[in-house]
Structure 1
């Protein structure tokens, strides 16, 4: 696959960390307005307004892309980005198979380029926020941690994903 028509299903831009501490203690309350129709992307920084934006510790992993097809809907049919805490939910691409590549996503406002650095490994929180067995169900398909390589805008709706090159980023 070099170019594919895909769908941006959801975008999550959250200013807070909801999954801190021990999973047994439960998640923090969900702030209103986390799911957005449009997200601004800044090169090397992430999604404007997101909890990982500009954080040095997350420089190579400020945005997480995930495939809708991998959501464990058999555990919870209502599972979405608010439960997985990923940023961009895509339909029509096995994003997990593209680790190590550079891709662009164009929602009609111009391409936004990402280095797909490493898998986003599911943690024990998935069993709390989605349901028992979710962590295991998401192994190997929990999404991809990325570095934005260009400024741009992502919007919910139809888009084009293009594989550009092998990643130059370190994972």
Structure 2
């Protein structure tokens, strides 16, 4: 099924069991309400349960950077095929049956210049995605449909 900005899908999922360890791609992941993604380094933290970025913003960052930016190297958990990921705290999105709520904008880390290349942090500024908390449990899978900015749930 084709995806566009109005009907984004999950393009990729990446997790890491600990800080500074490489991210690994998975086809699906369990999201646990109030805890985050099972097996990820932030599972069980108070608010930073999952990070989401847009493939559209990642492509814009790659253009600004002058070279492709692999989704796994951004250290974000979920990359959407397209669309604009909400950034206003309290805004909710749905991925499959899982509801996520915006906590804050995800700022790009200085380490990106070391792992991707000099200038990556600057290219990802304002394009680095959003930090969410998990409100409802369920499975998130590559290819799952995404509903962005659910106004009825604000």
> What TM-score, normalized to structure 2?
0.84
* Structure 1 segment 23-42 matched on structure 2, within 5 A: 30=22, 34-42=24-32
Secondary structure in structure 2 of the residue aligned to 1:150: coil
Distance 2:148 2:127 in 1: 20
Larger Rg: 1
Distance 1:65 1:167 in 2: 19
**1:117 aligns with one of 90, 103, 111:** 103
Q: Say which structure is richer in strand.
A: 1
1:157 aligned partner? 143
Describe the shift of the 1:123–1:35 C-alpha distance in structure 2 as closer, same or farther (beyond 3 A): same
Describe the shift of the 1:98–1:167 C-alpha distance in structure 2 as closer, same or farther (beyond 3 A): farther
Secondary structure in structure 1 of the residue aligned to 2:29: strand
**2:12 aligns with one of 7, 10, 15:** 10
Is residue 64 of structure 1 aligned with residue 51 of structure 2?
yes
* Structure 1 segment 86-125 matched on structure 2, within 5 A: 86-95=76-85, 97-100=86-89, 101-106=91-96, 111-125=97-111
The count of residues paired between Structure 1 and Structure 2 equals 145
2:119 aligned partner? 133
Q: CA RMSD in A?
A: 2.1
Residues 99 and 118 in structure 1, CA contact (< 8 A), matched pair in contact too: yes
Describe the shift of the 1:120–1:162 C-alpha distance in structure 2 as closer, same or farther (beyond 3 A): closer
- Structure 1 runs not aligned, ≥5 long: 19-27
Residues 62 and 123 in structure 2, CA contact (< 8 A), matched pair in contact too: no
